[in-house]
Amino acid sequence: MSSLSRFGHVIAGEPVAGQRWMPSYDPYLGEPWAEVAAGTADDVDAAVSAARRAYRDPAWRGLTPTARGALLLRLADLLAEHAEQLAVAETRDNGKLIAEMRAQMRYLPQWFRYFGGLADKVEGAVIPSDKPSMFNYTKPEPLGVVAAITPWNSPLLLTAWKLAPALAAGNTVVVKPSEFTSTSILPFLDLVARAGFPPGVINLVTGTGAEVGAALVEHPDVAAVAFTGGEASGRAVAASCGRKLIPATLELGGKSAQLVFADAILENAVKGVAGGIFAATGQTCVAGSRVLVERRILPEFLDRLSALAKGARMGDPMRDETEVGPVTTRQQLDRILGFIEHAKRDGAEVLIGGSRATRPECGQGWFVEPTIFTGVTPSMRIAQEEVFGPVACVIPFDSEEEAVAIANGTRFGLATGVWTRDLARAHRLAATVESGMVWVNTYRTSSPMSPFGGMKASGLGRENGAEAIRHYLQTKAVWMDFSETYPSPFVMRL
């Protein structure tokens, strides 16, 4: 048996060992540090059955919305107490900076506070009646068992975005984390149990997307899917949900543009653009990978952006001072380097970076040098496909119209950054860019209160914000007739 720590499934509140195990790698060391259960369709069936039983059990179903909300608030308090432990677990697992994971974990409780508070504020309606003897009202009801499928870049944060509204609405959940980052959810689930959630309300099955993810989506007792991941997997999930006729929220990838106008506060724009593409080593769905710069400030902007990127400290993500860490998987490292080589062949010019990082502080880890391409045309592959790494392509523009046309010229539509001091222009752009989020003079800002999601191939539906809970509810319309007589049974009652 392996000497590495093993992380299994959690079904009906009990730990369940895997029949098979797969390695989980430390991206900084480039070597396995744990083993994760490689689940099967049988594990999925056991988890969905447990979630289905919990959904029908009065211990959960009988709770008032206020009592459900109180459980979420209790979990929020426990998460706040254990933020440091969870941050370390995340960094170990996915290699993102401890500084960023600390910030995420300290803020994580807010999702459970927001949706815990919302649990008993979701109202049905009394419908105005055109039939004097009838009373008609609506009731929001949960869906049943929700499958929550997450990627590797921010495992617990993106799990919380699904769990908090799904639970507040009264559903039960089976979580399927990325096969590359399946361990940090276990300390999280310990806190779920301590908060007092009945066993089976939240279950965990780990494993690959092809085996566990697909079986979960296809399971006949799964009533809805909340998915975050890449475009190709998102399309596969949507196709399964279409066949089953169940709803899905899809948070997919992007090729987001940052538009820098000559009137912007240049120092802020440089920081915002660097943060958009080099922070988190570019492994964010909202990575601002297309940097559109007004031509007359291009030289100065590039000088400043290159200087900032070159000076970023790379190395051990567990160290507080590190600014650029490794990428999470070996496959992703190869994929990013493949995109870089392809861009060079297409004629893009490397301004900085353009290779694997071999600095001594990067050791054997999976590091890519922060890379800036110039000489990019909007139709090049590097300007159209999501790289999910620290690779910016810079495209100059001469007018606002041209900038908007380039920004909207991809199949994605997740986020747009706008850097300008011209308020009228900021409002014009907020209205014309095709993306689910627009950040003006800021970037990568999020909150449980504000809807998050994409247009076009970046996804369907929104996470966060009060509207998100509606994805986990269905409306029942109830009619009551209080008249003493019944009209002709052969005519519809209109």
Based on the shown chain and the rule CB under 6 A, indicate whether residue 43 belongs to the binding site for ligand NAD: no
Q: At what angle do helices 298-311 and 266-277 cross, to 10 degrees?
A: 50
Euclidean distance between CA atoms 338 and 103, whole angstroms: 32
Q: How far is the CB of 180 from ligand NAD (least distance, A)?
A: 7
Choose among 270, 282, 251: nearest CA to 100.
282
- Per DSSP, helices labelled H in 364-439 are 400-407, 423-432
Q: How far is the CB of 120 from ligand NAD (least distance, A)?
A: 28
Q: How far is the CB of 236 from ligand NAD (least distance, A)?
A: 4
DSSP structural state of residue 69: H
Query: Out of 228, 258, 289, 410, which residue is the one contacting ligand NAD (CB under 6 A)?
Result: 228
Based on the shown chain and the rule CB under 6 A, indicate whether residue 461 belongs to the binding site for ligand NAD: no
3-state secondary structure 112-147: HHHHHHHHHHCCCCECCCCCCCEEEEEEEEECCEEE
Based on the shown chain and the rule CB under 6 A, indicate whether residue 285 belongs to the binding site for ligand NAD: yes
Query: Out of 214, 224, 380, 473, which residue is the one contacting ligand NAD (CB under 6 A)?
Result: 214
Closer residue to ligand NAD, CB minimum distance, 152 or 261: 152
Phi, psi of 450 (to 5 degrees): -115, 130
- Per DSSP, helices labelled H in 287-329 are 298-311
Which token pair is 16? 């369940």
Binding mask 314-343 for ligand NAD (x = CB under 6 A): ------------------------------
Measured CA distances, 373 to 2, 352, 391, 406 (Å): 44, 7, 8, 16
Applying CB under 6 A, what is the total number of residues that bind ligand NAD?
A: 31
Based on the shown chain and the rule CB under 6 A, indicate whether residue 179 belongs to the binding site for ligand NAD: yes
Distance between terminal CA atoms of the chain?
70
Q: How far is the CB of 458 from ligand NAD (least distance, A)?
A: 6
- Per DSSP, helices labelled H in 363-483 are 400-407, 423-432
Query: Out of 24, 94, 178, 435, which residue is the one contacting ligand NAD (CB under 6 A)?
Result: 178
Query: Out of 21, 278, 388, 412, which residue is the one contacting ligand NAD (CB under 6 A)?
Result: 388
Closer residue to ligand NAD, CB minimum distance, 186 or 308: 186
Query: Which residues are paired to 456 by β-bridges?
Result: 412
Task: Tell me the residue type at 244.
Answer: K
Phi, psi of 454 (to 5 degrees): -120, 160
Binding mask 234-263 for ligand NAD (x = CB under 6 A): --xx-------------xxxx---------
Based on the shown chain and the rule CB under 6 A, indicate whether residue 152 belongs to the binding site for ligand NAD: yes
Query: Out of 37, 87, 202, 217, which residue is the one contacting ligand NAD (CB under 6 A)?
Result: 217
Q: How far is the CB of 362 from ligand NAD (least distance, A)?
A: 22
Q: How far is the CB of 162 from ligand NAD (least distance, A)?
A: 11
Closer residue to ligand NAD, CB minimum distance, 143 or 225: 225
- DSSP notation for 214-237: HHHHH-TTEEEEEEES-HHHHHHH
Q: Which helix (H) or strand (E) holds 158?
A: helix 155-168
Binding mask 21-40 for ligand NAD (x = CB under 6 A): --------------------
Binding mask 126-145 for ligand NAD (x = CB under 6 A): --------------------
Euclidean distance between CA atoms 93 and 215, whole angstroms: 25
Euclidean distance between CA atoms 63 and 301, whole angstroms: 57
Q: Which residues are catalytic?
A: 251, 285
Based on the shown chain and the rule CB under 6 A, indicate whether residue 149 belongs to the binding site for ligand NAD: yes
Based on the shown chain and the rule CB under 6 A, indicate whether residue 465 belongs to the binding site for ligand NAD: no
Residue span binding ligand NAD (CB under 6 A) among the ranges 106-114, 211-219, 347-355, 374-382? 211-219
Q: How far is the CB of 442 from ligand NAD (least distance, A)?
A: 18
Strand order across the beta sheet in which 5-7 lies: 5-7, 31-37, 21-26
Based on the shown chain and the rule CB under 6 A, indicate whether residue 98 belongs to the binding site for ligand NAD: no
- DSSP notation for 40-51: -HHHHHHHHHHH
Q: How far is the CB of 492 from ligand NAD (least distance, A)?
A: 43
Which residues of this chain interact with ligand NAD, rule CB under 6 A? 149-153, 158, 176-179, 208-209, 213-214, 217, 228-230, 233, 236-237, 251-254, 285, 386, 388, 414, 454, 459
